[in-house]
Structure 1
Amino acid sequence: MASNGHNFLLNLAVSGYFLLMLAHLPRQAFSGRSLPLGFGQPPEALCAAAINSLGYKCQEFEAITDDGYILSVQRIPEGRAGGRGGGSDRPPVLLQHGVIVDGMSWLLNSPDEALPLILVDNGFDVWISNTRGTRYSRRHLTLDPAKQEYWNWTWDELVIHDLSTVADLVFNQTAQKIHYVGHSLGTLVALAAFSEGRLSDRIKSAALLSPIAYLSHMTTALGVVAAKAFVGEAVSILGLSEFNPKGVQEEMFMKTLCDNPEVNCYDLLTALTDIALKNEPQSTSTKNLIHLSQTVRDAKLSKYDYGSTQLNIEHYGAPDPPVYDLSKISGDIPLLLSYGGRDALSDVQDVEDLLDAMKLDKSLQVQYVKNYAHVDFVLGVTAKDLIFNRVMSFFRNQ
């Protein structure tokens, strides 16, 4: 059964991004060089915080992007006692979360309902990614997260740097091509990467849950109002290069948005007690949110628009930012797209537009779940039966 509270919260988190303001293994470095201290200190490792105590082995890795960001990656190599055994033949699966959350978002349910643990108990080698700026990946070789320069990125950089770096880590550690699971923004970066011919030598197949690319029909009022009001640009102008959902200035913007008669924020506090108290919302760059708002307003999927012809020419050699051409996604990577009829962010019409744009046939499977909303694809109590078993079957058939 879909959860209205979860649906309200995560739809706002991913689309409007201004919603939440009210409120034991040694590390291994993926690099030929030893890992310097860099800027920023990691918190308690995700393995220790959420996985080891449940009886699972868990390994912490650090992957360094070519632009210097130090990403935290967790590996759950085998199931609990009584589960299927370990071994190098276990197919690797990489999980990529959405925006304003991190890898912990996959682990908020009980072990019997959490996708990473279901996968590993069914014979898969599970890897969990944490994108730059979130609590487990808030480090850099030379840049300080307290400074503006650290936050000068959008999801374009996640496509170019983060996704490929983590995929290389998993591939190099396992010597196998990877099954990929993305949710929300995790689907967007994968689709953008595939459209540019990236990762074809690393990814074996991909399951995209609540896929987002086109956002023209998004029905979340707060997200639409935020995007069309250029709120992201306003925050940037004020010098907030880091968007911290718990920040004071961000809270003032939230209040302004909730005063808009088109927006209903009544259920916000109720939703917060359900998920945010378990997993505090994570920072992202304000520039990233501006980029997402451009996708809403411009009704197309393109690289970041710098707001002037001159700046776009400097960055792209053209007056307009390049468009991600989803028709160029080849059939080399089998895809499973799973979407819901109650999803206010990954709207049914937008998903149908995405399917039309990709022009795929035999390499594409589609699952429609009428009563599912955005967050149900990660936290729904029936997700194991409706979604996760379908994902595992899809992977095993590749």
Structure 2
Amino acid sequence: MASSVLRALILVIALSLFISSAECLTGDSIIEHSQSVDGGLCFNLIRPCGYNCLEHTAQTNDGFLLGLQRVSSGILNLEIQTSPPVLLLHGLFMGGDAWFMNSPNQSLGFILADRGFDVWVGNVRGTKWSHGHQSLSEGDKEFWDWSWEEMALYDLETMLSYINSKTSSKVFVVGHSQGTIMSLAAFTEPNVVNMVEAAALLSPISYLDHITSKFVLNLVHMYLDEALGLLGMHQLNLKSDILINMIESACDNGNLDCSDMLASITGENCCFNSSRVDVYLEYEPHPSSVKNLKHLFQMIRKGTFARYDYGTIKNLLQYGKLKPPTFDLSKIPKSLPIWMAYGGNDALGDVIDVQHTLKELKSKPNVLFLEDYGHVDFLLSTRAYEDLYENMINFFRSCGNGMSSSF
């Protein structure tokens, strides 16, 4: 009797969590999200707002199972979708949910669906909405043996190939932050760039040696990446006790300025709704790998846009040379239409580094400079549609072969 009552009580609690997790993030509402009850990104965040959404899984050549979500407005049938496909690539410590964090009229994922695009949401290896590995578990150190290099050369190619197989169409690519690092590196590969119709890059990054983020620079100078490696850590989970304690200790000791953490990391954001931080933290941050952090810190220390540096001896074994090969941006075809938006207050995608990227490209991208935008504004600004998304959509309209003006 008691056990049956207990089972019934557990069932009621589980159902209440399950139901409450499926709410649209409109206004300043906070989703009741439970890590223990996971119906996928479509169920948790997209369908509750009235949009069609289907879950897909694509396997990379090195065995990772990537989650992809296909989204359209409620009036379109995903099974017979004929509009142009666009792939959204999130940044570091984020997942595909990043494109749906604000209300539907402010979130790029919803906006593109409303404008008739066939929206595909990418989730790189290790994030919550991807599905692990065909043979490795998250407890295996080999599971975390990757950086953005593998995301560029494996994950992005897999996503594009999968979308192309489903749509028989080239793909528009939109990246933010790490999503632009992946894109720029991958576009130097002919087999990848041939599947791309055009690219829009928000806070574009290929070089990082002029970042002004005091918080990140302090972590670089503290050699946090090396310390984590010495501790035997492979997964980088910012919600883990060990990392929270390390950062809190550095803040308490005065090694880091933690008075305004977001601004210290990303730069001052003009249009970010700080009252929604609790909403965002229901989903972010996602895990990454310590190796990925180390690769990014290498870029800051060395001023290069190159493959992972293993050290002299292992570089010889891995690459046949003392230093890792660079990603040559001049190899990106001049024929690839590129649109870029960057900000004057971005402490990660610094103006000097963006100019460096532009000089190395053969093409002359369409460029939008927003003087008062910080790094997060390009994703979460309450003015993003008026300031940049409409401009981006007009760029896409001008690119597609025979693309209907109704999109």
Give the TM bin, normalised by the shorter chain: 0.7 to 0.9
- Over the aligned positions, Cα root-mean-square deviation in angstroms equals 2.2
- What residue number does 1:205 align with? 198
Write the deviation string for residues 344-387 of structure 1: whole angstroms up to 9, x where unpaired. 111111111111121323xx211101111111111101101111
Q: Could you tell me which amino acid in structure 2 is paired with residue 72 of structure 1?
A: G
Contact kept, 8 Å, 1:222 with 1:257, in 2: the verdict is no
d(CA) in 2 for partners of 1:391 and 1:122?
12
Moved more, 283-292 or 348-357: 348-357
Q: Are 2:333 and 1:339 aligned?
A: no
Equivalent position of 1:391 in the other structure = 392
2:161 aligns with: 168
Distance 1:162 1:352, change over 3 A: same
How is 1:49-198 mapped onto 2 (pairs within 5 angstroms)? 49-76=44-71, 78-81=72-75, 87-198=80-191
Contact 2:206 2:357 in 1 (8 A): yes
Letter in 2 for 1:309: T
Tell whether 2:350 aligns with 1:350. Answer: no
Distance in 1 between the 2:77 and 2:168 partners? 20
Q: Are 2:308 and 1:314 equivalent residues in the alignment? A: no
Q: Are residues 1:302 and 2:296 paired?
A: no
Could you tell me whether the CA contact under 8 Å between 2:340 and 2:368 is conserved in 1?
yes
Give the conservation status (yes or no) of the 8 Å contact 1:42–1:138: no
Alignment partners' CA distance in 2, 1:322 and 1:202: 24
CA offset at residue 48 of structure 1?
Answer: 0.2
Given the superposition, is the C-alpha separation of residues 267 and 133 from structure 1 closer, same or farther in structure 2, using an over 3 Å criterion? same
Partner of 2:369: 368
Residue identity in the other structure for 1:135: K
**d(CA) in 2 for partners of 1:314 and 1:258?**
40
Equivalent position amino acid for 2:170 in 1: K
State the one-letter code of the partner of 1:79: S
Q: 3-state DSSP class of the match of 1:254?
A: helix
Aligned residue number for residue 328 of structure 2 = 325
The whole-number CA distance in structure 2 between the counterparts of 1:145 and 1:85 is: 33
Q: Calculate the TM-score normalised by the size of structure 1.
A: 0.84
Q: Which moved more, 1:243-252 or 1:179-188?
A: 243-252
Asked if the contact 2:52–2:78 (Cα under 8 Å) also holds between the matched residues in 1, the reply is no
Structure 1 position 258 matched with structure 2 position 259: no
SS where residue 176 of structure 1 aligns? coil
- Could you say if the C-alpha distance between residues 314 and 120 of structure 1 is closer, same or farther in structure 2, counting changes exceeding 3 Å? same
Percent of aligned positions with the same letter in both sequences?
A: 38
State the alpha-carbon separation in 2 of the partners of residues 72 and 143 from structure 1. 16
Contact 1:343/1:374, CA 8 A, preserved across alignment: yes
Change (3 A) 1:119 1:276: closer
For 1:304, the aligned partner's letter is: Y
CA displacement 1:61-100 (0-9 Å, x = unmatched): 0001111101100001x3134x899854300000000010
Q: Which has the higher contact order (CA 8 A, sep 6+)?
A: 1
CA offsets 1:87-117 (integer angstroms, 9 cap, x no match):
5430000000001010011111001111111
State the secondary structure of the residue aligned to 1:136: coil
CA distance in 1, matches of 2:221, 2:325: 21
Amino acid corresponding to residue 287 of structure 1 in structure 2: K
Secondary structure at 2:57 match in 1: strand
Q: Which amino acid aligns with 2:292?
A: N
Question: 2:335, 2:363 within 8 Å by CA — same for their partners in 1?
Answer: no
Structure 2 CA distance for aligned equivalents of residues 221 and 264 of structure 1: 8
| CA distances 1:270-329 after superposition (whole Å, capped 9, x unpaired) | 8994454332311001000000000011011111011x2111111111111111111222
User: Helix, strand or coil for the counterpart of 1:310?
Assistant: helix
Range that drifts further, 252-261 or 374-383: 252-261
Secondary structure of the structure 1 residue equivalent to 2:56: strand
Aligned counterparts of 1:158 and 1:42: Cα–Cα separation in 2:
27
Find out whether 1:292 has 2:293 as its counterpart.
no
For 1:278 and 1:252, locate their aligned partners in 2 and report how far apart those are by CA, in whole Å: 20
* 3-state DSSP of counterpart to 2:192: coil
Per-residue displacement from partner, 1:177-201 (whole Å, max 9, x unpaired)?
Answer: 0001000000001001112334222
SS in 2 for 1:72: strand
Partner SS for 2:52: coil
Q: What one-letter code is carried by the residue in structure 1 that aligns with 2:261?
A: L
The whole-number CA distance in structure 1 between the counterparts of 2:61 and 2:347 is 36
Structure 2 unmatched ranges of 5 or more? 1-21, 23-35, 263-273, 400-407
Judged with a 3 Å threshold, the aligned counterparts in structure 2 of structure 1 residues 47 and 257 are, in CA distance, closer, same or farther, namely same
Q: Is the 8 A contact 2:66 2:123 kept in 1?
A: yes
CA distance in 2, matches of 1:271, 1:152: 37
8 A Cα contact 2:164 2:171, kept in partner: yes
